[in-house]
Chain A
Amino acid sequence: MSKPFNPFEMAQAQFDKVADILDLDQGTRDLLRWPIREHQFAIPVRMDDGKVKVFRGFRVQHNDARGPNKGGIRFHPHETLDTVRALALWMTWKCAVVDIPLGGGKGGVICDPHHLSMREQEGICRGWTRQMARNVGYLQDVPAPDVMTNPQHMLWMMDELEVIRGHKEPGFITGKPAGMGGSLGRTEATGYGVIYTVREALKLLGQPIDKMTAAVQGFGNVAQFAVQLFTKYGGKVICVSCWDNQDQKTYTFRKTDGVTYEELIGITDKFGTVDKVKAKSLGYEILPGDAWIEQDVDVLIPAAIENQVTGDNVNRISKKVKVLAEGANGPTTPEADKVLIERGVFVIPDFLCNAGGVSCSYFEQVQGNMNFYWPRDEVLAKLDTLMTGAFHGVADLAKTKKLYTRDAAYVIAINRVASACRQRGWV
């Protein structure tokens, strides 16, 4: 406990491990361990009281060998360069694993929107864009919403860039509302993406999806659409767990003959809390929040928050479970990973499993560049193709190189980036 936790060092250590597997040369390692460019700048903003306050802005572009950088912009009062670097690194690998032609980036501003009016936030967005205008754009670097930023912030940034450029450039930024350059299918993208990979995993294991059962942790955006698509494929989701706003705890809602998205959404309030009374009357059993993990099912989908499958509870997972699909970010701890490997559970790692979101972002950018927008089904069909391809890339590698799927995903991603650098003659 002597050294403080540093996310960037952690990301580098992860890279180093994969670099050893890939036997990368020192030059490639040196290039990929660090961002290729880092921008740090001041954003002076005229505040509501007439005074000027200067905010610190960042943009870290980790690697653009495979295409323009892509990554969110965060507004956070304690933003640090190391956090932003780590997140930019992970964006490079995430884009590479689903094989979309983008690099990784991340940016942010040190500020707390709780202490800023909307007008002041607009000032920050426009100021950020003015400082970065020469280094961003649909062919250079494409930002997106992140912590405490939303589509409104994206539109202010797009508008400022278009004023500077003197022309329209909807592909500059993603996460825009539909009708203002946003893509249809965005809401479903992550949840559907999870199930596309689950479907392929079951296919690989020779299990018919319409005979399969699943337990889902969470009932937010990702979980809801995962439930919807899984049941549409004929599978049976027997439980979801979710946060109860009144009781300030989670419950698992179980119905052994299968839950449906429509039924559950009908008794869920806008806070995401399922009505216990109505659930009971619809035949749901109400179990403790962590009961989802011990269900006798074929597929487990943790789609809520990080650190849910741990050394403590991994052994409660039923012997029947064949696939664990990580809809959430980092739901499985390293101790749990060890047990899952031993037991031969097929784990679909988070940055592949939930890459539907970033893929849809890419589609939004492509549509913006063409200034031609696809119908929802077309977006989702393209997403299916992309996710399916990405899944098999990882699965094949895991099989041929006898790697744990999580490692295989990193290996394939980093290898793609390293190879692009080599082909360009950078290393």
Chain B
Amino acid sequence: MTTPGDNSIDLMGLLFERAKELVCLYQVQDLTADTERTPDEVFRDLLEIIPPGWQHPDACWAKITVESTAYEPPGVTETPWVLRSPIVAAGKHIGAVEVFYDRQFPKADEGPFLKDERRLLDHIARRVGRYVTERRQRGMLRNFRVSMQQAPADDRREWRVIIEFLRRTDPHQLRRVSRRMINYLVWSGVAEAQDLLKHLGANQRDRDRSDENRPIERATVDALMRVTNAAFRMAANNLSDDEIVHVIEQWVKDDKVGFLVEAGENQGTSLREIADALETFQQMGFGDKELSRSVQLGLRVSLVRRFLTDDLEYINTAKNYMHVADFCDIVQRVVSPIGSRGKLGGKSSGLLLAYHIVRRSEEYADAIGAFKMPKTWYVTSDGLGAFIDHNHLQDIHNRKYLEIDQVRKEYPHIVQAFKNSDFPKEILKGLAVALDDIGDKPLVVRSSSLLEDRIGSAFSGKYKSLFLANRGTKRERMVALCDAIAEVYASIFSPDPIEYRAERGMLDLHEEMGLMIQEVVGTQVGRYYLPAFGGVAFNNNEFRWSPRIQREDGLVRMVPGLGTRAVDRLSDDYPVLLAPGQPGLRVNVTPEEVTRYSPTRIDLINLDANRFATVLIADLLKQYGSKYPMFKQVFSACDEDGLHPVGGFDWDGSTENLVACFEGLAGNTPFLAQMRSLLRVLREKVGGPVDIEFAHDGTDFYLLQCRPQSGSGDVAPMAIPRDIPPNRVLFTARRFVSNGRVPDLTHVVFVDPVAYGHVADLEALHDVGRAVGRLNKALPKRQFVLIGPGRWGSRGDVKLGVPVTYSDISNTALLMEVGERRGGSMPELSFSTHFFQDLVESDIRYLPLYPDDEGIVFNAAFLRDAPNQFAALVPEYANLASVIHVVDVPSVAGGQVLKVLMNADQDEAIGFFA
């Protein structure tokens, strides 16, 4: 990355200018928000505040003209070197703000003035305009209340006071209020109001059809007054005084937020302008709940569309939970290019919606417990475009259409090109503010692309997320942040997502990427920074290790430290799996299992080395022991007697045999119950299953991400075809089915349950296991299925299942257990508990088969009768050929392969030749 200081942008100079501008802006803001001062005082003070924001403050003075009054410092003379911006209130020009230099300066962007100074002045003029508008509105409301109070008691209850007041101050508003009152009366079931409505609108239905092309006659002012009078007389007869006052107040407020409605609805407004409008709204001092329902929802919807997404389902939910005030908070932390009309992207939208849903589900507050969202800054999706344009890299957009090998070859160069590019000044400024806000806490830059929130295409892990220790001087931190953002930006052009998009026909969609710059949840432990634990949780449990676990019981995958190790499948380690709906059931039961399948490594931030790192948990504990956050909840001591709590009086302080199994958390805290409630509320309110990412810093629980749990690629629910001819079906299954597909099986290894049951010699039973181990090496990886009796990997009685270890089956694509009724009892299948976690991490699918169930197909005869390749593949165990059948599918199925489709929603699976 080119450091900003090395190149065209002088970072320090830039920061200094920004600071000046900010000071000026904040002061203008404070001043115009001060309702105590008179306008005279405000305008005079503004004359003092404005010049220091300019490049040559000593030579600078300001003039403000409002209506016919001009404010300027004494003894000044107007010069030709002036920057002028009009003041607009309620749509009318009412004056101007001007800045003069008293002498000539070298030519800059606009005369001697800078581009930034033009923006600053425009902003100030807008604020002044709004100040004037608000003052007027406040004045009107005050007058209204005063006239109400001053009127005689009888009159006070009369509609005349109201009407009179509005007629005097704002006839336009009176007309709008009258119309709304008539509608209100109609909805309230007042029959006469219907007639009035007809009268008012010269209702279409009253017109002859032949008159359709003739313009409607305009109602006269007198006529309107008559209608108004009639409407309020009717209101007085049918509604209480309080109700009339209440609705009028609401409508006046609705009117007041017209500017915000307009800003949101007008697709031409930039995010900055919407942000300004939101700021003004905030200063009005009331929430959107005080507006009428339609205005409230309209506002929320327009804000969701502008900031988050156009997705209708999303909007439909979000409008109930995301208030206008929430957007006021969000815009404080948005970084965007000039004139941005971008969005925050899928990941941000998902998190914001989930956060507000849960926060506003007060009825579940106790069940869910306290939770937080980490401090987050957002870079809008058009930031990437601005970055590309700024560096003239536009040709990059078409790279996605290259051959994938070419994409792969070019990608490293793209990364370097991005890292050596500059950021637009506006974005740099925004990032500098973000860094000031986050301080020196570690942070993570997450992609938040527009495609990421599309249902059915979870881009999980396709784009980069980068962790930064965020240590050093501000300049060093800024350089590191820019470097990380460039790398995340480049990942949109990396071969994996391009291939993924091509496969799903989404290549032509214009992909834009927003970013989240998030404070890393955690706490400092020595030279490391880490959360107590992190992980992901799913509404639907697609990896059930016990038949007692329902799909709806959910799944939590968690690890100590950063959740990165729980998000990805691990080849060399195991996250802890828990089912919130069945908190008592553990994947690992015996001390050996717990030891073998507990996490051994931890992801964290090494503050000394200033980077993300992975270390051995044992080493970390040796050094810091019980200083680890939530030590008692995360770790247990494990010996041959079982698990023991640590950290208490009985604990000897040894970290030798500690395992990160979360027994303390699962057993002694409401964590799982709260997680269950959280998942349930989200499923209910979002209207479908979700997956979330979370972390705990030892004090608070944080929600980090939320998105629909669509399942992607090979773990999506597969449509079960109904029209497969029976002779092409090898099996069907209807119990404990998970999602997924295994599309390309060329070999079936079938350990015949009947023949296996008749093996009399213990040694021969063990030989079956050994022979399977040989086949595992001989057959094409992930292209064969193992079908066998009862419990694969049985460690007790080997009669009940083939005695194999994980290394004997590691190359299979699918493991199937056949539960056939014997002598009236149905054997309990293992659900592959012996190596369950190995299967999960290697993405080996598991499917139990119950051939005795009604309507289930299992064509064992086909497997028994097909030419058996077993002896040829493993000649040393040829004597077991009657027990183990190996079928080369293409050679017996006319070139077809075995395809397995599984659908957990329907609890159905099918294996057929295709």
Contacts and interface: CB of A to CB of B under 8 A. Distances in A.
Interface of A: 1-7, 10, 48, 74, 76-80, 83, 112-120, 147-148, 150-152, 177, 187, 221, 245-246, 248-249, 269-271, 307, 333
Contact of A246 (B572, B755, B800, B830): B572
A5 B642 contact: no
A48 B584 CA distance: 8
Contacts of A80: 797
A4 B547 contact: no
Contacts of B886: none
Contacts of B595: 270-271
B761 interface: yes
Interface residues of B, number: 55
Given A1-B760, A1-B764, A245-B596, A114 B796 contact: no
Contacts of A150: 590-591, 640-642
A120 B582 CA distance: 12
Contacts, number: 114
Nearest to A335: B763
Interface stretch (B169-177, B408-416, B805-813, B898-906): B805-813
Interface string B741-757: 00000000000000101
Interface string B564-591: 0000000010000000001111110111
A405 B719 CA distance: 64
Contacts of A248: 805-807, 810
B760 A4 contact: yes
Contacts of A307: 763, 766
B657 A115 contact: no
Contacts of A5: 759-762, 765, 799
Contacts of B795: 147
B320 to A, nearest CB: 33
18 contacts: A1-B760, A4-B757, A7-B762, A76-B797, A77-B828, A77-B830, A78-B790, A113-B589, A114-B586, A114-B831, A116-B584, A117-B583, A150-B641, A150-B642, A152-B641, A187-B640, A248-B810, A270-B618
A333 B796 contact: no
Given A4-B760, A5-B761, A76-B796, A151 B589 contact: no
A270 B584 contact: no
Contacts of B585: 114-117
A78 B797 contact: yes
Contacts of B758: 1-4
A151 B641 contact: yes
A78 B810 contact: no
A372 to B, nearest CB: 22
A270 B828 contact: no
B343 interface: no
Interface of B: 545-548, 572, 582-587, 589-591, 595-596, 618, 638, 640-642, 656-657, 659, 667, 755, 757-766, 790-791, 794-797, 799-800, 805-807, 810, 827-828, 830-831, 833, 882-883
A363 to B, nearest CB: 18
Contacts of B591: 150
A114 B589 contact: yes
Contact of A270 (B656, B761, B882): B656
B200 to A, nearest CB: 64
A177 B595 CA distance: 19
Given A5-B760, A114-B833, A177-B641, A148 B827 contact: no
Contact of B763 (A48, A79, A147, A333): A333
A83 B762 CA distance: 13
A147 B592 CA distance: 12
Interface of A is mostly: loop
Given A10-B762, A113-B589, 5 more contacts: A4-B757, A4-B758, A4-B760, A115-B831, A269-B618
A93 B192 CA distance: 104
B765 A74 contact: no
Contacts of B760: 1-6
Contacts of A113: 589-590
A57 to B, nearest CB: 16
Nearest 3 CB-CB pairings of A with B: A117-B584, A248-B807, A115-B546
A7 B796 CA distance: 12
A114 B545 CA distance: 8
A361 B584 CA distance: 31
A77 B760 CA distance: 21
Nearest to B761: A5
Contacts of A221: 640
A148 B589 CA distance: 8
A417 B807 CA distance: 44
Nearest to B584: A117
Contact of B584 (A1, A6, A119, A246): A119
Contacts of B547: 115
B716 to A, nearest CB: 28
B587 A114 contact: yes
Contacts of A112: 546, 828, 830, 833
A114 B799 contact: no
Contacts of B797: 7, 76, 78-80, 83
Contacts of B883: 1
A249 B806 CA distance: 11
A38 to B, nearest CB: 18
A87 B759 CA distance: 20
A112 B572 CA distance: 27
Contact of B800 (A1, A78, A187, A271): A78
A357 to B, nearest CB: 12
Given A3-B758, A4-B758, A152 B642 contact: yes
B590 A148 contact: yes
Nearest to A146: B796
A119 B583 CA distance: 11
A294 B573 CA distance: 34
A83 B758 CA distance: 16
A116 B584 CA distance: 7
A80 B641 CA distance: 26
Given A114-B833, A248-B807, A270-B656, A78 B796 contact: yes
Contact of B759 (A4, A79, A114, A148): A4
A177 B650 CA distance: 14
Given A148-B589, A152-B642, A271-B596, A78 B759 contact: no
A203 to B, nearest CB: 32
Contacts of A249: 807
Contacts of B833: 112, 114
Nearest to A47: B548
Contacts of B641: 150-152, 177
Given A150-B590, A150-B642, A1 B759 contact: yes
Contacts of B766: 307
Contacts of A7: 762, 797
A151 B590 CA distance: 11
Contacts of B764: 1
A152 B806 CA distance: 28
A307 B765 CA distance: 12
A306 B758 CA distance: 22
A402 to B, nearest CB: 28
A195 to B, nearest CB: 20
B765 A78 contact: no
B757 to A, nearest CB: 5
Given A114-B589, A148-B590, A4 B799 contact: yes
A150 B644 CA distance: 13
A148 B587 CA distance: 13
A150 B586 CA distance: 16
A118 B805 contact: no
B808 to A, nearest CB: 9
B613 to A, nearest CB: 20
B765 A1 contact: no
Contacts of A116: 584-585
A48 B796 CA distance: 27
Nearest to B880: A1
Contacts of B882: 1
A111 to B, nearest CB: 9
